[in-house]
Amino acid sequence: MKYVVKMVAMGLLLTACATQDAPKRTLSWDVDDALGYCAKQVERALDSLRQTDGSYDYTMAPRNILQGETTWNCRKAYAEEWCSGFWPGILWMDYGVTQNENVRQQAQGYTESLAVLTQQPVFDHDLGFLVLGSYGKGYEQTKNTAYRQMMLDAADSLATLFNPMVGTILSWPRHVKDYGGHNTIMDNMINLELLFWAAEQDSSKRALRDMAVKHAETTMAHHFREDGSCYHVAVYDTLTGDFIKGQTHQGYADWSMWARGQSWAIYGYTMVYRFTKEQRFLDFAQKVTDIYLKRLRETSDDMVPLWDMDDPRGETAPKDASAACVVASALLELCQYVEEEKGEEYFAAAADMLADLSTEKYQSRDSNVAFLQHSTGHHPAGSEIDASIVYADYYYLEALMRLKNMLKQQM
Ligand code: GLY
């Protein structure tokens, strides 16, 4: 194909060159600078987490840094905490970039403190987040067979939450009464990766793949409105499997677009396509992406969304950098699966998101030891509003690494 396209959008310079099938992409900002910044922040964070005797308390996982604070607030790593996998995941990814031996040692320490997760009954669906971030990222770097086994065991444990009448994994066993049935939240799509991965690793676990596909199908059928925007929570009759209602938990309203919920849908269906190669999931990943991008451009002054796109305060409402990070990472994968023109649109959007996130507006820089600020965790509960949150950093680093790899591959 012979054509030349030049496009400058929000700091991205994308050049499609003649002679090659794939357009050549370049950025007007430096992804290595952003990765170097992350490495520096990791070192600062590790310094601040080191105890006076030089050791680390691996049982306490970094979770957030609130406004005015400079270092991570930590939570007990495995006591009903869904975020403990992200910090070891950040360390493993940073180790992948820097080969820094101290970072590797701490990644191992924080990861292995989560071994208890497969020695107890599954608490809720977040087992996937916990294990994919820690052992999963660790396995990518080390091929440690004990990490592989931990992931396989965790997948079996997660599968015990699958209800075949409904066709999804139960997200919150503790909230079945509050919600009036089997509840499944959009975030749960991310956890399917553990099931798909385990089934690929071990042919005797084929049933896990079937569960993941069924969950994705059921969610596609009930968890979305006509335009492709999602509810946060879908409630089903535990016994008959009938869909009862869609509602919010962390968003502005039952009918609104909670930015991170939609980001999980984009990331989730992209990942489901990676494992299944089924066109219906690829089409759906594009549908849930396109409505997100449309609403983003209507409601935000840059490529980072309001925490909920329907917050009536409009541009004065808090942002959620974490949702932008999840979407950027997902789009860098999705852009490789779709038609070329669409792929360029998604690549440009992801690069623009990362360009915005890499400015002084969103990077924490000297103000605290996280990579990013301006994320929102649970607005209705008044929790983590306009804060640094560990999963924003995790998906930011994942997205930067994906971007760097893509740029390297085309050289
Ligand atoms: N419940 C997971 C999240 O806050 O996205």
The three-state secondary structure class of 219 is helix
User: Which residues face 25 on adjacent strands?
Assistant: 14
DSSP characters for 315-344?
Answer: GGSPB-HHHHHHHHHHHHHHTTTS-HHHHH
- % helix / strand / coil in the chain, to the nearest 5? 55, 15, 35
CA of 377 to the centre of ligand 1 (A): 7
Burial 166-192 (b: 16+ CB within 10 A, else e): bbbbbbbeebeeebebbbbbbbbbbbb
CA of 279 to the centre of ligand 1 (A): 28
CA of 108 to the centre of ligand 1 (A): 25
Whether residue 15 is predicted with pLDDT greater than 80 in this model: the reply is no
- What is the C-alpha to C-alpha distance for residues 247 and 258, in angstroms, rounded to an integer? 11
Whether residue 2 is predicted with pLDDT greater than 70 in this model: the reply is no
- What is the C-alpha to C-alpha distance for residues 259 and 186, in angstroms, rounded to an integer? 11
What's at 104, amino acid-wise?
Answer: R
Q: What angle do CA 256, 258, 261 make, to 5 degrees?
A: 125
Give per-residue pLDDT as tens, 54-66. 999 999 999 999 9
Residue-level pLDDT at 21: 61
Q: What is the mean pLDDT of the chain?
A: 94
Instruction: Tell me whether strands 60-65 and 388-389 are parallel, antiparallel or unpaired.
Output: antiparallel
Give per-residue pLDDT as tens, 376-397. 999 999 999 999 999 999 999 9
**Closest residue by CA, ligand 1 atom 1:** 187
Burial 252-263 (b: 16+ CB within 10 A, else e): beeebbbbbbbb
| Ligand 1 contact via 260 beta carbon (within 6 Å) | yes
Residue among 257, 260, 262, 383 to mutate when testing ligand 1 (max atoms within 8 A of CB): 260
Q: Which of 105, 106, 127 lies closest to 116 in space, CA to CA? A: 127
Give per-residue pLDDT as tens, 178-212. 999 999 999 999 999 999 999 999 999 999 999 99
The residues assigned a catalytic role are: 126, 187
Q: Which of 27, 14, 102 lies closest to 400 in space, CA to CA? A: 27
- What is the C-alpha to C-alpha distance for residues 119 and 174, in angstroms, rounded to an integer? 19
| Predicted TM-score of the model (pTM) | 0.94
Q: How much of the chain exceeds pLDDT 90, in percent?
A: 91
| Ligand 1 contact via 250 beta carbon (within 6 Å) | yes
* Gap between the terminal Cα atoms of the chain: 18
Q: What stretches of 85-238 adopt beta strand conformation (E)? A: 162-163, 168-169, 182-185, 233-236
Q: Which of 392, 406, 397, 393 lies closest to 334 in space, CA to CA? A: 406
Q: Which of 244, 321, 331 lies closest to 289 in space, CA to CA? A: 331
Nearest atom, ligand 1, residue 260 CA: 5
CA quadruple 293, 39, 127, 259: dihedral, nearest 10: -20
CA dist 345 to 9, 14, 299, 403, Å?
Answer: 11, 10, 19, 15
Whether residue 5 is predicted with pLDDT greater than 60 in this model: the reply is no
Residue-level pLDDT at 411: 78
Give per-residue pLDDT as tens, 94-151. 999 999 999 999 999 999 999 999 889 999 999 999 999 999 999 999 999 999 999 9
